[in-house]
Amino acid sequence: MERSAERSGRLLSQTIGVARQRGELALIASLPHHDLAYAQAALRGGAHALKVHFGLTHRASGKVAPSLHVQREVIPRLRDLAPGLPIGAVLGSNVSHVEQALDLAVELGIDFVSGYAHALPASIFEADVEVLLAFDDRTPLDWAAALPQGAMLEASVVPHTQYGEPMTAADLLLLGRLRAATSAPLIMPTQKRLTAGDLRLLKRVGVDALMYGVIVTGEAAEGFERVAQQFRSVFAGPEPG
């Protein structure tokens, strides 16, 4: 749907497109805590967007995130820190939780909602937010061809038992299949341990953005600055021959 004029400058899809034009991957900081130190660190490092979690247990960190209704002050505080950046959220682990939080999220100025396809209500596509549909390792890959117009694809397709392992050729081939199936922005969470060379390969296979978090940053807030700087530096100079 049409976004409000107030938020038109904070579209995640536009942010990703601008990064693509500059020859880099957009960086979305997936914050494991609502402590503003994590957001501040990500912004110092050069993250293009921020994402927080409500009403679930964060898969990578194991942290339990309170509901949006309990911590509604988090979004305005993030907006004060980053008035021009897209800010998004996972609103819960099931359809009921997301439905209960969605109107409040829009009221507070959330720019995008991220969630697994089975945990998002169909009404999400009528809300005044952009949508990141997350596929897990059990989602049929051919669903990518059926993404609604305007939706983005979050390829959270690594089994939990493989978190933190090196990226493999099989990972690239799977991402390549998703890229071939859709022209939607393709966002890859850092569920694997990534090197600078991996980032260049991901860009070549058609990944548009990285959603980076504790698997590559570690638990300390400072890691969100360090990793963002490292990842952005990969595309700061000419690509090696």
Whether residue 26 is predicted with pLDDT greater than 50 in this model: the reply is yes
Task: Please give the pLDDT value at position 93.
Answer: 85
Q: Is residue 106 part of a domain?
A: yes
Alpha-carbon gap, residue 52 to 223, rounded angstroms: 16
Whether residue 239 is predicted with pLDDT greater than 80 in this model: the reply is no
Q: Is residue 239 part of a domain?
A: no
Q: Is residue 240 part of a domain?
A: no
Minimum mean pLDDT among 3-7, 84-88, 104-108, 137-141: which range?
Answer: 3-7
The domain of 174 spans 5-234
Q: Is residue 31 part of a domain?
A: yes
Residue with the two structure tokens 């530096």: 233
Q: Is residue 59 part of a domain?
A: yes
The residue-averaged pLDDT of 178-203 equals 94
- Return the closest-CA partner of residue 74 out of 96, 55, 58, 59: 55
Name the phi and psi angles at 176, rounded to 5.
-65, -35
Number of domains in the chain: 1
Cβ–Cβ under 8 Å, residues 197 and 168: no
Whether residue 9 is predicted with pLDDT greater than 90 in this model: the reply is no
Q: Is residue 27 part of a domain?
A: yes
Q: Is residue 209 part of a domain?
A: yes
Which CATH number do you get for residue 31?
Answer: 3.20.20.70
Q: Is residue 241 part of a domain?
A: no
Indicate the helix (H) or strand (E) that contains 103: helix 95-108
- Over residues 36-75, the pLDDT tens digits come to 999 999 999 999 999 999 987 655 555 667 889 889 999 9
Exposure on the CB side of residue 66, measured as CA atoms within 13 A: 9
- Return the closest-CA partner of residue 192 out of 226, 158, 223, 222: 158
- Over residues 200-215, the pLDDT tens digits come to 999 999 999 999 999 9
DSSP conformation letters of 47-76: -SEEEEE-SEE-TTT-PEEPPTTTSTTHHH
The set of residues, in sequence order, having a beta carbon less than 8 Å from that of 126 and lying 6+ positions away, is 1
Tell me the whole-structure pTM to 2 decimals: 0.92
Mean pLDDT, the chain, integer: 90
